[in-house]
Amino acid sequence: MENRGSVAQLLEPVREAAKRGELRDAHSMLQDVEALYPLDEDVWSLKAAIANSDAEAASYLARVVELNPRNERALRDLAMMRLGASSRMHTAVNAAHPAEYKCPLCHHAHTCQFDSCGSCGAITDTRRVLEMVNNAGADAEIIRAAIAHRERKPSAESLAGAAAGALNLRELPAAYDLARRAVELDPNHAGAMLLARRLEDPWWIVAVSPAPAVRLALLRSLEPFAGFVRVAAGREEAIAAIGELRPRAVVIDAKTGGGGLALCQPVRSLLGVDVPLVLLGAGVMEKLRARSAGAVSHVAVPFDASSLIAALKPVVGLE
Ligand SMILES: [Zn+2]
């Protein structure tokens, strides 16, 4: 901790270069700082902010979280990475000069519009529907009050926002009802229309991984497709979700506690043989055994979205 001052001083010109768009300089300066402070979370945060690809950024952010599991900004940046490189640059590079943004649900003012709300915990960006339905940090009481408030002065915008609130509470029928009422008021409200269509006959993929970065990458990869994804951190949670949601496909990280392979069989007996089961990141032997355990495909880790989508093609509606 005694190095904080000097690390911050060394990182300042890197941030400045990144803001000016001089990424090559930023990278080379950052390399020098990293050589001096290889275990500093701020160094890795900045590496993520100026990384060349989302996959690279995700691995750096995972390193930040490894160094400090309570680094909220890194956890949040991991969550919002799917919004693209520009938003990554925005938060990490401009963290010192936050803009003010009001939560559309509870009206709490906070500093980053891509964050989940600091007060009610809701995610309100409609490009993050899958994160909404996996949001464990939503404050039900505040959000319910906000939904009730929005329903009292119904406009399409207001009801669409209320639908987002309901998604944060994992209440899909309520969200559908609100989105549909929004569309009735304004048939041209694109956000409400997309939401209503997606919620009309919701279907699920359940994905299990002990790694937060992998769970977020799964949500990010599958967001553009029609269905919903529930992520689980472990075996029990996954089995409960599968029983509740009857998913169209299951994705299992080989590193799941108790063994990813060992989870294939119970999943098969719960869902039958027709539901695609994708094993993430198994070794060569595991891959072979995965086939006999009922996995239909295998995707290497770290995975890119396209190989996951390819494995889930019939399920996500591409065939
Ligand atoms: Zn809020």
- Residue that is last in its domain, among 171, 200, 229: 200
Selected residue with higher pLDDT from 303 and 80: 303
Residues 147 and 184 in one domain: yes
Mean pLDDT for 131-151 is: 93
Taking the centre of ligand 1 as the mean of its atom positions, its distance from the CA of residue 211, in whole angstroms, is 27
Query: Is the same domain home to 167 and 271?
Result: no
Average pLDDT taken over every residue of the chain: 83
Q: Is residue 103 part of a domain?
A: no
Is the pLDDT at 5 greater than 80, yes or no? no
Quote the domain boundaries for residue 308. Answer: 204-316
Question: Are 298 and 287 spatial neighbours (Cβ–Cβ below 8 Å)?
Answer: yes
Q: Are residues 238 and 293 in the same domain?
A: yes
**8 Å CB contact between 134 and 216:** no
Among candidates 55, 58, 48, 4, which has minimal Cα distance to 27?
48
Coil, strand or helix at 280? strand
Distance (angstroms) between ligand 1 centre and the Cα of 70 equals 21
3-state helix, strand, coil in the chain (%, to 5): 60, 10, 35
pLDDT of residue 241: 96
Mean pLDDT over 279-296 rounds to: 74
Beta-carbon neighbours within 5 Å of ion ligand 1: 103, 105-106, 108, 117, 119-120
Residue 159 tokens read as 């009801």
- Residue 182 shares a structural domain with residue 118: yes
Lowest mean pLDDT segment, chosen from 31-45, 86-100, 158-172, 216-230: 86-100
- Binned at pLDDT 50, 70 and 90, residue 88 comes out as very low
Q: How far is the CA of 143 from the centre of ligand 1 (A)?
A: 7
Domain total in the chain: 3
Q: Which of 42, 61, 93 is the last residue of a domain?
A: 93
Predicted pLDDT of residue 95: 47
Distance from Cα 218 to the centre of ligand 1, integer Å? 25
Report the side by side order of strands in the sheet with 249-253.
228-232, 204-208, 249-253, 277-280, 297-299
Going from the Cα of 126 to the center of ligand 1, the distance in angstroms, rounded, reads: 14
Cβ-contact 103, 122 below 8 angstroms: yes
**For residue 231, how far is its CA from the centre of ligand 1 (angstroms)?**
23
Q: Domain check: are 219 and 274 in the same one?
A: yes
Tokens of 293: 């355990």
Strands 297-299 and 101-102: unpaired
Q: CB–CB of 14/23 below 8 Å?
A: no
Rounded distance from Cα 154 to ligand 1 centre (Å): 19
59-63, 97-101, 181-185: which is most confident: 181-185
Cα(120) to centroid(ligand 1), Å: 4
List Cα–Cα distances, 148 to 49, 74, 134, 186, 241, in angstroms. 39, 33, 22, 20, 28
CA 137–ligand 1 middle distance (angstroms): 11
99 within domain boundaries: no
Most confident of 34-38, 68-72, 85-89: 34-38
* Ligand 1 centroid – CA 240 distance (Å): 29
CATH number, position 26: 1.25.40.10
Whether 181 is covered by a domain: the verdict is: yes
- The reply to whether 101 falls in a domain is no
Residues 225 and 312 in one domain: yes
Q: Is the pLDDT of residue 111 over 80?
A: no
